[in-house]
Homo-oligomer: A and B are copies of this chain.
Amino acid sequence: MSVTAPRGFRAAGVAAGLKSGGATDVALVVNDGPDAGVAGVFTTNRVRAAPVRWTQQVVRGGVVRAVVLNSGGANACTGPAGFQDTHATAEHTAAALTASSPRLRLGAGDVAVCSTGLIGERLPMDKLLPGVRTAIRALARDGGPAAAEAIMTTDTVPKTTVSRGTGWSVGGMAKGAGMLAPGMATMLCVLTTDAVAGPELLDAALRAATRVTFDRVDSDGCMSTNDTVLLLSSGASGVEPDEAELTAAVTAACHDLAQQLVADAEGATKQVAIEVVGAADEDDAVEVGRSVARNNLVKTALFGNDPNWGRILAAVGTTAAAFDPDAVDVAVNGIWVCRGGAAAEDRSKVDLTGRDVTIRIDLHAGAAAATIWTNDLSHAYVHENSAYST
């Protein structure tokens, strides 16, 4: 049920002609309240798309009544004119929503905007704005799945989730199949809840959740200009969870969506969990996991079903984490091919024929642990990304 699983939300996904071929490309999520709480986390890339800069401002106020999202164009690296396009989209959405239902009384500052697609090109506003009006007419209590479909780019399947509290729930949708790397490993994600929760509580829950989910997906090491994760609260359930309860439900939703992103990553033939244990602290564990996740020689070896632990150790060695190179153990799918920094069990025992791969690295330097999720580097990844914009 996506973002419309919790009470108080309507959504829609329609075709505005931004994508060729008639696929849906404009999504709208409206929070009917009674509350309109919001929190957001955004890309840490210093080259931020116009909608990111706009939505960061909007979210700062703690109130958002609608989110308009488009695929078919990222509106990144488009200069002042691109920012103006985002602003116009928010204004137009606010005015049209108010006209459709005067009790809403929205201004541009109540509308978050998200865009995804090719970087460096202006959006065709003559198509986008009519699309927004079409989306408003299509808004429905069960419109969540349609919205999830409209934000897809190279995704092969829509990604939605629901996680339930006691008397309230969290719903969500996400898109992202490339440029998946930290500082948020998705392009766009909208989460909704009918819990009663103000902006501060939403922010605490969202940051705690993304830190251990989206931020630990590193599919291709490339950080997007458009990453946005929003969490909206309607308060429609009347139930006020505590921070731990809300964090648990939001984390479950983010974890589910993050796994769906890794599962659908461009061209991937493997879904890889890199479990780093025995680290001196969590930052070390994350650094080591990320270094292995980003190593093209490790990734191509996995594509070739090759348990090449020497490449894994070489990647670990590039980090500043605390460890003794002569004390590191590495297991691939449960076989400890490396003990004490040297060959151990026979690598031929490792079965890499399945899609799921687990690499476990024990640094023997402490008690901290972290898992990073990644993919292999395949012919299909090269093919898809060498042909994307042309």
Contact = CB atoms under 8 A, between A and B. Distances in A.
Contacts of A306: 386-390
A168 interface: no
A178 B297 contact: yes
Contact of A315 (B222, B304, B317, B378): B222
Interface stretch (A45-53, A87-95, A233-241): A45-53
B82 A45 contact: no
A364 to B, nearest CB: 14
Nearest to A223: B318
Nearest to A79: B342
Given A78-B342, A222-B314, 16 more contacts: A46-B323, A47-B325, A76-B313, A77-B309, A77-B342, A79-B341, A80-B326, A179-B297, A220-B297, A296-B377, A296-B385, A300-B382, A300-B385, A306-B388, A308-B388, A379-B379
Size category, A interface: 35 or more
6 contacts: A47-B317, A77-B313, A222-B297, A224-B314, A306-B389, A310-B389
Contacts of A342: 77-79, 81-82, 120
A120 B309 contact: yes
A47 to B, nearest CB: 3
B79 A326 contact: yes
Interface string A281-313: 000000000000011110011011110111101
A223 B382 contact: no
Contacts of A338: 77, 120
A174 interface: no
Nearest to A46: B317
Contacts of A47: 313-314, 316-317, 325, 341
Contact of A325 (B48, B223, B310, B316): B48
Contacts of A220: 296-297
A368 interface: no
Given A120-B309, A310-B118, A379-B383, A388 B78 contact: no
A301 B386 contact: yes
Contacts of A295: 221-222
A272 to B, nearest CB: 14
A126 to B, nearest CB: 18
Interface string A76-112: 1111111000000000000000000000000000000
Interface string A238-256: 0000000000000000000
Contact of A382 (B313, B316, B382): B382
A365 interface: no
A310 B82 CA distance: 14
Interface in A335-390: 338, 340-343, 377-379, 381-383, 385-390
